[in-house]
Chain A
Amino acid sequence: MGSQGGFYQSKEFLDLVKSIGEARSKAEEDRIVLNEIETLKRRISEPDIPKRKMKEYIIRLVYIEMLGHDASFGYIHAVKMTHDDSLLVKRTGYLAVTLFLNEDHDLIILIVNTIQKDLKSDNYLVVCAALNAVCKLINEETIPAVLPQVMELLAHPKEAVRKKAIMALHRFYQKSPSSVSHLVSNFRKRLCDNDPGVMGATLCPLFELIARDVNSYKDLVINFVSILKQVAERRLSKAYDCHQMPAPFIQIKLLKILALLGSGDKQASENMYTVVGDIFRKCDSSSNIGNAVLYECICCVSSIYPNPKLLESAADVISRFLKSDSHNLKYMGIDALGRLIKISPEIAEQHQLAVIDCLEDPDDTLKRKTFELLYKMTKSTNVEVIVDRMIDYMISISDNHYKTEIASRCVELAEQFAPSNQWFIQTMNRVFEHAGDLVNIKVAHSLMRLIAEGFGEDDDNADSKLRSSAVESYLRILGEPKLPSVFLQVICWVLGEYGTADGMFSASDITGKLCDVAEAYSNDETVKAYATTALMKIYAFEIAAHRKVDMLPECQSLMEELLASHSTDLQQRAYELQAVIGLDAHAVECIMPSDASCEDIEVDRDLSFLNDYIQEAIEKGAQPYIPESERSGMLNISNFRNQDHHEASSHGLRFEAYELPKPAVQSRIPQALIASTEIVPVPEPMYPRESYQTTMPSIPSDAGSAELKLRLEGVQKKWGRPTYTPATSTSNSTSQKTVNGTSQGDGASTVSSMRETYDSRKPQVEVSHEKQKLAASLFGGSSKTEKRPATGHKAAKASSHMVEKSHVPKSSMEVASDKAASAQQPPDLLDLGEPTATSTALQLDPFKQLEGLLDTTEVASAVNGAPAASISPDIMALYVDTAAGIHNKNDADLLSGLSNPSVTNMPGTTAMPQVTQSSSKRPNPKDSLEKDALVRQMGVNPSSQNPNLFKDLLG
């Protein structure tokens, strides 16, 4: 077969590939390619190009396109090529169009005709080529054009054609289920095809059909089970074997299908138990593909109606995966564990150390997978540890996509399981600080809401403590540079509401900080707006408390800047602030009642408080208000004029007849303070009627303040009530907190204090302790949540401490030989035991658990040794664990460059050493040599850049 590996292209093409191969920079490569594009553009449009030549041009276009450049000028030529009579040329044409065109490209319509013709061809290779193109190119609109022919091909004598026809039909189904819905029964028929290849291909569409509608395929369970049984018993041709596994890909597909069919269906599942159990037994776990099948078995077992025996075998396989040296298997093990713990949560415990190893693994992928597992097993008992870890990891990565995901997971877990509000706020602070711009704004709102509403119980003292701790932490955090906008909004709001509430900080402290924020983030208008409103609140509270208000100079300059701001929103806020400062204490208290963010505001939509005033006006001869719907043209005009007159005296910014607010406006003029009339002109156009219609608090006495209050409402709406509505989950979490609030707090503090003592120790000794402890905090409490006594009082804890201490010497003697024994430390046990600390019977649990741990580590070391030894003689199995070793070597070669003697020779002279080396492994060394010689003839030498060009991929 070696001759097929020759190089039939022209010198030009070889040169192109060669020069690109030798290009040292992306820029150089681009230059070469652009050059080539120019050449091709010119050549390809010449008349009468011989077919051979054309074919080569097209292949060159494909190459250019592959490198990421635009070859669209040649698409039409590729399309033309598919019309050609010669299969050789046609095939190239089809290849090119499938690579060039997406399914929505305009040129496709030109190909449909050719495809139709080719599907009828006598030559099955032509049909195959056309079917390949069908799969890629036919879109929803063109399906009807080829569907009848594809249907006919389902019965084609050649299995290769049947197979592709099935896949094409599958593709149609994916693109437009309705177009082929009447034909899906054909898939069932093809399942019984004589050729296993066709049968295997049929499983793909069936899988998808079943995934969409399980119930109509329940009758096939028996068929699938019997096929799987036959496959597992090696009834299929040897050609489908793969590393001594009988047709593993078909097995995997079948297991996937069974998992769907058996999900939640006891009867169907019972049919599967035997065959799945057989596969568990028969699978060879030393090859990659064997493990792939095993993994699929686990997925299947965890999906179908649970069977204890199968779950047991699944757990066995998982522990084998986790103890393996291969990262791939560990990864699969973690994934499988995540699937299985949904059914049997207790299985996680025996693997705790392995999981923690994975968590600390340098491999990022593995780490993420482990976090996913932890996310799935989070409970209120271990939420602190897990979220803490997640945040640490979140801080350490730079991939925004994943950062967002993990941040939202942290938030979700914290909301769901938070043991205390204090902790919740601290956690949120960390999340915001490091990923603030990535989290949903709703999260910020629910945080503000939580701070405002407090614990949910009527414990004002605790609430204010919470708030002052939040304020304190925010003031500290503000010192840090570059905080995310969302976080700053939260900070500003909280400082405004509660900054001065407990008297710890003076108004000037807080306002100073707020001004700093507005100044430091002067590009961010939202933050500035929040800061301004917060300033207003602080000043309002000061005035209401009859304290003298001194505006800081920086605050004054900020206000001056904002009064002239281009943003009308900022400007309005600044004016409001100015107005509020001018008011007396009583008015201010009405406008800005302190700590009232949670109070409901009653909206008097009828503006009934103005009734007296209107009455008075009517008595004086004013026209009564006529609703817009009742107004006729004439009346309208007169009304309008009349009003216009009226308005002109107050201010000039009226462009339309605007009835509703009229009384309010008029009422203001005599009563409101001068400051408020100043405000009016600016905001008026901004809040057309909305501000009048929506929120008018019923304070008839002071119209001026009512007017301002109304503005304030408009402001608060931004971050106030309406945005709170979706946060039902937080209210859940708050109510939950009330349930386990106090007892939880105890545990939390002990855990954290313990961590501190650990941190102070030397890291060397610490590692195993840390792990053990982590394991305990992650898994330990999991099974005992229910047992935990409601009253975890100190006495019990102390006694447990004693008991455990007395146990320690004994247990450490038992396992003295094992290194892991050092992991057994009283604090760990305390941690483990603490929740169960009421009776001695429960006391025993943690010990059993620890012994279990030690067992597993011993087994781990034993197992780890075994596979390495047994695999090494199997050369072909470079796929398995040993492959990692081989890889390693390759890497070393390339990384150290010249360190390996066989490589040192290569760049300068020839690749001979390499080739001979590989010839010892490969059956046909002659091929390689010939190839090498041929290439050299053409002037291609392996450059020092890539000494491996000649290396056998499998070698």
Chain B
Amino acid sequence: IHFVLLISRQGKVRLTKWYSTYSKKERSKVLRELSGVILTRGPRLCNFVEWRGLKVVYKRYASLYFCMCMDPDGNELEILEIIHHYVEVLDRYFGSVCELDLIYNFHKAYYILDEILISGELQESSKRTVVRSVAAQDSLVEAAKEETGSTISNIIALAAK
């Protein structure tokens, strides 16, 4: 897998992860071209797009498009399943995940992705394991948070002043 993109139906970028090296210019070009191609595709077509000698597998969940780019000789259905796998893990983690969760917690989406894919390869195919390891990290975070003793209400109160 060369990169993972999450794009909203309006073409807004929700998450990008690059496993192969792309310069900033190339990245924005990729985003522009692919969102042009994918967002305009009609329903009931297949979830694959051939693009510059590579293949992009995408799937739409509600208003969010999950795209993964792979080598031309890979197994498209497998990638499709990896996308679904990711979404299911997100769903377990956030509890009925919605686009808003990902917008505001994009860094968590990154952490989860890091537990599923590493350098573009699937490292863990068990949902339970992934959720468990992310939860383990979070528990530490929670512990740290309690130490500092500040919560969201504090921050909001601070910012409201």
Interface residues, chain A, with chain B CB atoms under 8 Å away:
1-2, 4-12, 14, 17, 20-21, 52, 59, 62-63, 66-68, 70, 86-88, 91-92, 95, 98-99, 102-104, 125, 128, 132, 135-136, 160, 163-164, 167, 170-171, 174, 196-197, 200-201, 204, 237, 239-240, 242, 247-250, 252, 256, 288-289, 291-292, 295-296, 299, 326-328, 330-332, 362-366, 368-369, 401-402, 879, 884, 887-888, 890-891, 894, 918, 922, 924-925, 927-928, 931, 935, 938, 940, 945-946, 948-955
Contacts and interface: CB of A to CB of B under 8 A. Distances in A.
Contacts of A249: 78, 81-82, 122, 125
A132 B9 contact: no
B91 A954 contact: yes
B46 A366 contact: yes
Given A888-B43, A949-B63, A2 B95 contact: yes
Contacts of B140: 87-88, 125
Contacts of B136: 125
A924 B107 contact: no
A879 B85 CA distance: 11
Contacts of A888: 43-44
B77 A332 contact: yes
Nearest to B143: A88
Nearest to A72: B24
B38 to A, nearest CB: 11
Shortest Cβ-Cβ A-B pairs, 7 listed: A292-B77, A11-B159, A327-B46, A948-B63, A953-B61, A249-B125, A951-B62
B121 A170 contact: yes
B24 A95 contact: no
Contact of A894 (B9, B105, B151, B158): B9
Contact of B24 (A7, A68, A104, A331): A68
Given A171-B119, A174-B119, A366-B45, 11 more contacts: A10-B159, A52-B148, A88-B140, A91-B141, A95-B107, A288-B84, A295-B77, A327-B44, A331-B46, A918-B96, A927-B95
B96 A952 contact: yes
Contact of B78 (A59, A292, A369, A924): A292
Given A92-B107, A160-B133, A954-B96, A288 B119 contact: no
Interface string B68-102: 00000001111011101101101111111111110
Given A52-B150, A103-B21, A135-B118, A7 B104 contact: yes
Interface string B1-28: 0000000111011011100010010011
B104 to A, nearest CB: 5
Interface string B101-114: 10111111011001
B44 A884 contact: yes
B49 interface: yes
A898 B87 CA distance: 28
A953 B101 CA distance: 10
A242 B85 CA distance: 9
A37 to B, nearest CB: 14
A330 B44 CA distance: 12
B13 A67 contact: yes
Interface residues of B, number: 90
Contacts of A7: 104-105, 152
B18 to A, nearest CB: 8
A368 B124 contact: no
B36 to A, nearest CB: 11
B125 A328 contact: no
B61 A288 contact: no
A949 B106 contact: no
Contacts of B111: 91, 95
A292 B80 contact: yes
A91 to B, nearest CB: 7
Contact of B93 (A4, A296, A368): A4
Contacts of B50: 365, 368-369, 402
Nearest to A947: B63
A17 B133 contact: no
Given A59-B107, A888-B44, A197 B95 contact: no
A755 to B, nearest CB: 29
A102 B158 CA distance: 37
Contacts of A197: 123-126, 129
Nearest to B32: A68
Given A68-B13, A125-B136, A922-B96, A9 B63 contact: no
B6 to A, nearest CB: 10
Given A87-B140, A953-B97, A328 B60 contact: no
Contacts of B137: 87, 91, 125, 128
Contact of B118 (A103, A167, A332, A950): A167
B24 A239 contact: no
Nearest to A243: B81
7 contacts: A8-B151, A200-B122, A200-B125, A242-B85, A249-B125, A928-B96, A949-B98
A204 B117 CA distance: 12
Nearest to B94: A5
B64 A288 contact: no
A881 to B, nearest CB: 10
A246 B148 CA distance: 44
Contacts of A10: 155-156, 158-159
A248 B63 contact: no
B47 to A, nearest CB: 6
B121 to A, nearest CB: 4
Nearest to A1: B95
A795 B95 CA distance: 77
Nearest to A950: B98
B3 to A, nearest CB: 12
A204 B10 CA distance: 36
Of listed A366, A884, A948, residue having the most chain B CB within 10 A:
A948
Contacts of A925: 96
Given A66-B13, A164-B118, A950-B98, A1 B133 contact: no
Contacts of B118: 132, 135, 164, 167
A103 B21 CA distance: 8
Of listed A9, A88, A103, A402, residue having the most chain B CB within 10 A:
A88
Contact of A953 (B17, B49, B98, B105): B98
Nearest to B74: A256
Contacts of B16: 66
A352 to B, nearest CB: 21
A70 B78 contact: no
Given A888-B43, A951-B63, A295 B81 contact: no
A669 B21 CA distance: 65
Nearest to B14: A66
B119 A935 contact: no
Contact of B103 (A21, A125, A163): A21
Given A91-B137, A163-B123, A953 B87 contact: yes
A88 B43 contact: no
A292 B75 contact: yes
A888 B44 CA distance: 7
Contacts of A9: 104, 155
Nearest to B110: A95
A170 B99 CA distance: 34
A291 B107 CA distance: 33
Nearest to B19: A136
